[in-house]
Amino acid sequence: MFRNVFLKSLYDARRGLIGWSIAIAVLVLLECALWPSVRDMPDLQQLYQSFPEQLRKFFNLDAMTTGNGFLNAELFTLMLPGLFLVYSIGHGARTLAGEEERGTLELLLVTPVSGARIVVDKALALAVSVVALGAVLFTATIVGSLAFGLGISASAAAGGALALTLLGLEYGVLALTVGAITGRRTTAIGIAAAAAAAAYVVYAAGLILPRFESWQPYSPIHQAFHNGPLGAGLQLSYLWLLAGTVVLTLFALPALDGRDISTAH
């Protein structure tokens, strides 16, 4: 039915991707619908100024009087990154380790297709799925902004969607790589989730404690959130996210070559 692993992998991921896309679109539109009520609150700026300085800095509350700042604080630095990471890590862990645990990986290993080509096709299918989720986020943000008057430009929405797409893709490929090497889906999820949590701790500590600020640039979370992510434009730090994805994919390339199919499940 399918001529290569890439198309088959995309087909297998279609239902989950549709469900996640609907959920993210609905979440963004519901959050946008709250903006008119928030915007029209009296003395909104004074209310935010009453919060502790560390809390204002952590959530960038001083910027919440604008549509960009509101969605950044409510979605783009909190809920949406978590959703992108959950989807990407789960997808990445299933794509090779899941097949090995189900016993279907051996069907690919006995074909003339090399192990490296299987890894590349699986990684490309993961990338297309995460990019599609990013496209849904971009579209929902634009529609919500137009419908509820947030004033978010297309370039700002594109920058925010790109940041979360690259963030999710890096950790999704990390899960894919760990799964390719270990053959264990739970191990892949655990290591990728722990790495994401550690990156968030470094990012958050740098916001609250000045002595940790110098560590922030090493955190992929900071690389994605720097100056935004919504409205930040194209950041040089995005190149680090892309480079990390490429390096992790290279580590995964030889993982399936020479794999004993008798133990591939």
Q: Convert the pLDDT of each residue in 42-64 to its tens digit.
A: 766 666 666 666 666 666 666 67
Average the pLDDT over 231-242 and give the result. Answer: 86
Summarize pLDDT for 53-111 with one digit per residue, the tens.
666 666 666 667 788 888 988 899 889 999 999 999 999 999 988 888 787 777 777 77
Helix residue spans in 40-98 (DSSP H): 44-49, 53-59, 67-71, 80-93
How high is the pLDDT of residue 259? 60
Cα 138 from Cα 157, distance rounded (Å): 6
CB 208 within 8 A of CB 57: yes
